[in-house]
Structure 1
């Protein structure tokens, strides 16, 4: 092990190519390479024009992100090492120009392929186009690279979620890649959408289905290439780097936390005691960098798969998320809060549906009626409709759990020097979940909802006011229900009179106690 170069030394002077660098994981990976491997020569990032912005504007927006603040202070000229490559995995040859292709082909030795659609409910045609055909285009492009030493493909730990125990190996695909690609070439989108439930079978969505097929494609077409597959579980906010709690999208747990913090999500299908296999994005990025390092120094003779998961190493449950999200959103509430946070997971469909009606829909109608009376646009019913669809796509993952093997993760850690284990520590044992969840809740508030932490005192006063309103509302409701019972049950009437008499006596004694003191 002493003869192996450290990770920063191995990356020194090398050129890297990243697809998906504007995505959540891709940009965190980009930042970590630049900050912890300061002598890397050039990082080429595949980037496409989007929403009226050209590549230059998108790169400027990316690098002005708060994610890069620490890097800007440590390496003010870091941007000079980033070379944008105009292109798109939806186009043949990635849509790159001959000039850019020559730059990448001649100079790059390490490739990270993280571009994909991560929408669970994406239409099958687009999901195949991006996750399967897009991967094929990346493979074909990488075959041209003259000195390719490592190509890392980002998959998902749930690509084989039809299994309960998932090993670090390639599984048989639900359909041969070439058959799926051929079908998507001649079938239109509507036909594919109709066939999707039958196609995915015992998988929950098009995302996990196409990711499984992409893995099989890599296994078939990359036999003589230095390729490795990386499978993270549910990627969440950062643990420590470059800033605790950093997150910039609503995917996965972040969307749940934002809705819980606002008080609009109060009941979810899920197993309270089930494993919530969340992996912080910075741990995933560190491991990706180390996996590429390992691939170069060891040159494995067969395709390796690396799991990046927490469930069997440092267990966190959906019940933990329920309790901690309530605790930390009460401590650090959101500014735009509609109701007191009160998240609950249940395995009962009936209980879930009853709560959706009485704790989601009826309050939403009441709040929309209030907005209408004030001359404002009703929004809460629309929010609930969108929320129901988004949360429904997560039911499969919150209601089931899996056992992931992690042998290659610890093999990799043992290969690394003590210095590298400090700089690139991805051991899930380092996570302290209460601290992580508090940071995650604050990160959702700060980075996703863009709320200023200086406004926390005002938000806490709002929560106190909502608590008083909630208490008064509950008391009134109890009284109304009780009075209705009194008219029908004689024992209830006797108990009511006893309680009223007891309360009167207590209040009569209060002034005497005050005078004597």
Structure 2
């Protein structure tokens, strides 16, 4: 009975927190969306951590200290400031740049990291779909290779987590938690970009990409192959989140600071710019909250770092690092039609004071209908608005705005019109292996998400953190919404009356 009681006590304790106690973590990409959330979560939930070394790129006229201070101004750290006012003492800045060889580290910092670090989170990446192939190769491929070579010489390394994407091998329609053949090896890609001019690389990029839709997915696929070939038996895991959306719970609800993917579409719809979505209504959209994805990555670090083999879900061929597909479609599927319905319910509930039109979104998977609706809902109104702007001496802006939005929409169409089937057995096994305490503290069970409730959080988060429109302006925004609706109906009535009058005049003229 004592043994049973002891096992129950062990089950309640946070073994993940214990794993990081006294630890020294090296984090890349800390100024990015996922990086800053990881930094905050580790500091707040793993109080026993000794140090977190943060790679920070030095920008012109801003030294490293200024950049980190700027990072800590984010609302992400407000809760941490209240709970642990001295948290900054644990953060050590390491100047570097992932565009440079060896992450731009100087020899002294490199030697210090190799001696002291026992856990690495490599999150630094360029996530731009239209990034130049040279930059994508240097940041996403070479920096990963160089860091792995450093890791192989680290004296005390317990775990290494590489952040990839569930769409790295989007050319596969069934994506398992396994490695696939890359489009080109990392070494060959780096030789190519090192030996060719920018103009030549621009010309051959479409041929080089082949079936890959963009340089981001292409370079991430190659980086995974680099991980496989350079890991050399390291305690390493690859985590592959799907499309990351705002936080569900931690450290604050609805936090988001970028326009990528679904978030950009919903924001553009909320301000009245986008009214047509090119997507299959009944396909599955794979989206995951950012805080859940971070918890999955932290749990993966623990999993590959624990000594007990039974706790490590790195099953199968021990020479290959485990891969964790972090996806929602297995436990909590969602379709574009449902997203559109939730958007109508919740984004319309929180209108924005600077919106150009009220929220409405039409869904179609017919390309020709999509082009027609874009012309009707986007470009014709834009030309009319810009024409009126010129008449009253204002600068036209809407047509140019739609051209920029069009590039963004074109980049994301591949992911909204195609569908993938993901497996996530390793991820599910990882969650089952966690203690009850860890499941609460580092929850990443997608089955616990109520999408209807989440989209309410999503809408408020996009309004407050992306549109920078505080909730205090909501009454003003609702008054503006009512005016827009009245103006819309006046315009529609005028249009139909004009159309009928024109038709009547033509008939009268002919007969």
Q: Deviations over 1:186-206 (max 9, x none)?
A: 111221221122211112111
Matches within 5 A, 1:122-137: 122-137=131-146
Q: Does 1:249 align with 2:258?
A: yes
Deviation of the 1:488 alpha carbon: 6.4
- Structure 1 unaligned blocks of 5 or more: 494-517
Matches within 5 A, 1:357-368: 357-368=375-386
In the aligned structure 2, how far is the partner of 1:29 from the partner of 1:464? 41
After superposition, the CA RMSD in angstroms is: 1.8
Q: Deviations over 1:313-367 (max 9, x none)?
A: 1011222222222222221111210112212221111111112222111111222
In the aligned structure 1, how far is the partner of 2:60 from the partner of 2:286? 34
Deviation of the 1:487 alpha carbon: 5.2
Q: 8 Å contact 2:14–2:437 — kept in the other structure?
A: no
Q: Deviations over 1:424-445 (max 9, x none)?
A: 1101011111121121121111
Q: Deviations over 1:289-308 (max 9, x none)?
A: 10000111146433100011
Q: Does 1:404 align with 2:422?
A: yes
Q: 8 Å contact 1:94–1:141 — kept in the other structure?
A: no
In the aligned structure 1, how far is the partner of 2:341 from the partner of 2:247? 20
- What residue in structure 2 maps to residue 508 of structure 1? none
- What residue in structure 2 maps to residue 450 of structure 1? 468
2:374 to 356, 360, 365: 356
Q: Does 1:158 align with 2:167?
A: yes
Q: Does 1:171 align with 2:189?
A: no
In the aligned structure 2, how far is the partner of 1:132 from the partner of 1:192? 16
Return 224-233 or 293-302, whichever deviates more: 293-302
Q: Does 1:378 align with 2:387?
A: no
Q: How many residues align?
A: 491
Matches within 5 A, 1:205-354: 205-297=214-306, 298=309, 300=314, 301=318, 302-354=320-372
Say if 1:265 and 1:52 are closer, same or farther in 2 by CA, change over 3 A. farther
Q: 8 Å contact 2:101–2:142 — kept in the other structure?
A: no
1:198 to 200, 204, 207: 207
In the aligned structure 1, how far is the partner of 2:437 from the partner of 2:409? 42
1:148 to 144, 148, 157: 157
Return 334-343 or 460-469, whichever deviates more: 334-343
In the aligned structure 1, how far is the partner of 2:75 from the partner of 2:114? 32
Q: Does 1:8 align with 2:26?
A: no
Q: 8 Å contact 2:102–2:143 — kept in the other structure?
A: no
Q: 8 Å contact 1:322–1:343 — kept in the other structure?
A: yes
- Structure 2 unaligned blocks of 5 or more: 1-6
In the aligned structure 1, how far is the partner of 2:281 from the partner of 2:274? 16
Q: Deviations over 1:400-432 (max 9, x none)?
A: 111110101110111100010011110101111
Q: Deviations over 1:477-499 (max 9, x none)?
A: 22222334445679xx9xxxxxx
1:185 to 188, 194, 216: 194
In the aligned structure 1, how far is the partner of 2:25 from the partner of 2:89? 14
Deviation of the 1:311 alpha carbon: 1.3
Deviation of the 1:372 alpha carbon: 2.8
Q: 8 Å contact 2:277–2:364 — kept in the other structure?
A: yes
Deviation of the 1:50 alpha carbon: 2.1
Q: 8 Å contact 1:89–1:137 — kept in the other structure?
A: no
In the aligned structure 2, how far is the partner of 1:97 from the partner of 1:175? 30
Q: 8 Å contact 1:238–1:280 — kept in the other structure?
A: yes
- What residue in structure 2 maps to residue 116 of structure 1? 125
Return 38-47 or 246-255, whichever deviates more: 246-255
TM-score, length of structure 1 as denominator length: 0.92
Deviation of the 1:213 alpha carbon: 0.7
* SS of corresponding position for 1:50: coil
- What residue in structure 2 maps to residue 428 of structure 1? 446
Q: 8 Å contact 2:14–2:438 — kept in the other structure?
A: no
4+ residue runs over 6 A deviation: none
Asked which structure has the greater CA Rg, the reply is: 1
- What residue in structure 2 maps to residue 513 of structure 1? none
In the aligned structure 2, how far is the partner of 1:362 from the partner of 1:93? 51
1:461 to 473, 479, 494: 479
* SS of corresponding position for 1:238: coil
* SS of corresponding position for 1:337: coil
* SS of corresponding position for 1:479: helix
- What residue in structure 1 maps to residue 42 of structure 2? 33
* SS of corresponding position for 1:330: coil
Q: 8 Å contact 1:330–1:463 — kept in the other structure?
A: no
